[in-house]
Amino acid sequence: MALPTRIALEIVTPDRALVREEVDELQLPGADGYLGVLPGHTPLLATLKVGELWYRTGPETHHLAVAGGFVEVLPDRVTVLAQIAERAQDIDVARAEAARRRAEERLARPAQELDFERARVAMMKSLIRLQVATRARTRV
């Protein structure tokens, strides 16, 4: 059996299907670290953490911010079921910057008033959104 040359990528959130494309490679934020996927990858299931997902089709690379969910990797197909996923060009930078400031303010409060994990995740989401949005603006 010949190895596949492309990967069918599908990225879905509870609200909508975001991506359905044939891609050459991708990288996504697994709970235990970033996973690189090429055609013919060994099958696996993994949970997703807050991070940046990118995929390449030919010379063009696309970036998304993702948070939570699951990924199924098969030799010729990757399905991402994300709680949150946003394309770089869809990110509202002012809103992400405001969320970052709110998270910083929460983290500066005394410990007894703070749900630390919730504040940490909010900070990570805002920082990833800003990072991904920056990639969209700096693309040549």
- Amino acid 140: pLDDT: 43
One domain, residues 83 and 99:
no
> Does 1 map to a domain?
no
One domain, residues 28 and 70:
yes
In angstroms, rounded to a whole number, what is the distance separating the alpha carbons of residues 44 and 124?
A: 25
One domain, residues 68 and 13:
yes
- Amino acid 139: pLDDT: 54
pTM of the full predicted structure?
0.85
In angstroms, rounded to a whole number, what is the distance separating the alpha carbons of residues 97 and 85?
A: 17
Whole domain around residue 49: which residue ranges?
7-88
Domain at 111, CATH number: 1.20.5.440
> Does 2 map to a domain?
no
Q: Tell me which residues of the chain have a pLDDT lower than 70.
A: 1, 110-114, 137-140
How many structural domains does the chain have?
Answer: 2
For residue 131, the surrounding DSSP H or E stretch is: helix 116-138
> Does 18 map to a domain?
yes
Q: pLDDT, tens digit, for every residue of 41-54?
A: 999 999 999 999 99
One domain, residues 23 and 79:
yes
Residue pair 25/56 in contact (Cβ under 8 Å)? The answer is: yes
One domain, residues 15 and 39:
yes
Q: Which of 72, 88, 104 is the last residue of a domain?
A: 88
Q: pLDDT, tens digit, for every residue of 6-18?
A: 999 999 999 999 9
One domain, residues 100 and 133:
yes
One domain, residues 81 and 118:
no
